[in-house]
């Protein structure tokens, strides 16, 4: 079960509105599949639109430019309807990151949303083959709602499609480096803050 406690204002029920979906005459949601190439950014307390990176451990991180030296900048190919897995490839034009990355192009993004456990709190990451993802991993159901990244909650039996966002960032020993987590029940976690993932970069304001 995905809980909705940390979702204030972001929960979207299929009956009211559906990410990238329209209703047909029977009221069923028809998803329009579109594939886009994007970069993803995390927003939260002290995290004002920082890019998501792959570590050399193939786990997902949020980092400032200064802390990204050992990470791989990634470009995402996303299916906005949630049908296909989201994949990444190294962005080789990004200069601040690890240029000798071994990230397999086309690696699949996953979260661990273990349906057998309500309290899973685990780092998101990338696998070259979806079958080698950790137990409880989810590799599909990621959708966009406007610029927001949401995840389809298919454990709801009501027939409605529900979308949730339970991404969190946990501080690491390195300043400006956070592990990107999925927090199944949204409960408070040590050294961690909820983050929103968006396909839009922060607006840069110049102080004159």
Ligand X SMILES: *[C@@H]1O[C@H](CO)[C@@H](O)[C@H](O)[C@H]1NC(C)=O
Task: Determine the Cα–Cα distance for residues 56 and 125; give it in Å rounded to an integer.
Answer: 11
Residues near 26 by beta carbon (within 8 Å), at least 6 away in sequence: none
137 binds ligand X (CB under 6 A): no
Task: Determine the Cα–Cα distance for residues 94 and 79; give it in Å rounded to an integer.
Answer: 23
102 binds ligand X (CB under 6 A): yes
Tokens of 18: 């559906």
Site string for ligand X, 31-50 (x = CB under 6 A): ------x-x-----xx----
Given 13, 17, 30, 69, the residue binding ligand X (CB under 6 A): 69
Question: Looking at beta carbons only, is 52 or 143 nearer to ligand X?
Answer: 52
Question: Looking at beta carbons only, is 41 or 163 nearer to ligand X?
Answer: 41
Nearest to 82 by CA among 135, 133, 37, 149: 149
The DSSP secondary structure of 64-100, one letter per residue, reads -TGGGTTSEEEEEEEETTSSSPPEEEE-TT-SSS-TT
Smallest gap from residue 97 Cβ to ligand X (A): 8
190 binds ligand X (CB under 6 A): no
Which residues of this chain interact with ligand X, rule CB under 6 A?
Answer: 37, 39, 45-46, 56, 67, 69-70, 73, 75, 91, 93-94, 98, 100-102, 174, 193
């Amino acid at each position: 079960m995905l809980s909705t406690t940390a979702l204030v204002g972001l929960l979207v029920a299929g009956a009211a509105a559906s990410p990238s979906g329209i209703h047909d005459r029977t009221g069923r949601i028809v998803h329009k599949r579109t594939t886009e190439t994007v970069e993803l950014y995390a927003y939260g307390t002290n995290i004002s639109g920082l890019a998501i990176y792959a570590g050399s451990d193939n786990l997902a991180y949020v980092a400032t430019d200064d802390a990204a030296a050992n990470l791989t900048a990634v470009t995402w190919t996303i299916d906005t309807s949630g049908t296909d897995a989201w994949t990444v490839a190294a962005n080789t034009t990004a200069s601040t990151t690890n240029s000798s990355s071994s990230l397999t192009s086309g690696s699949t993004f996953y979260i661990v949303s273990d349906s057998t456990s309500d309290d899973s709190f685990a780092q998101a990451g990338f696998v070259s083959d979806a079958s080698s993802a950790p137990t409880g991993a989810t590799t599909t159901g990621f959708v966009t709602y406007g610029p927001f990244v949401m995840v389809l909650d298919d454990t709801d039996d009501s027939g409605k499609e529900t979308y949730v966002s339970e991404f969190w960032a946990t501080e690491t020993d390195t300043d400006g480096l956070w592990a990107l987590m999925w927090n199944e029940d949204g409960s408070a976690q040590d050294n961690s803050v909820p983050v929103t993932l968006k396909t839009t970069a922060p607006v840069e304001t110049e102080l004159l």
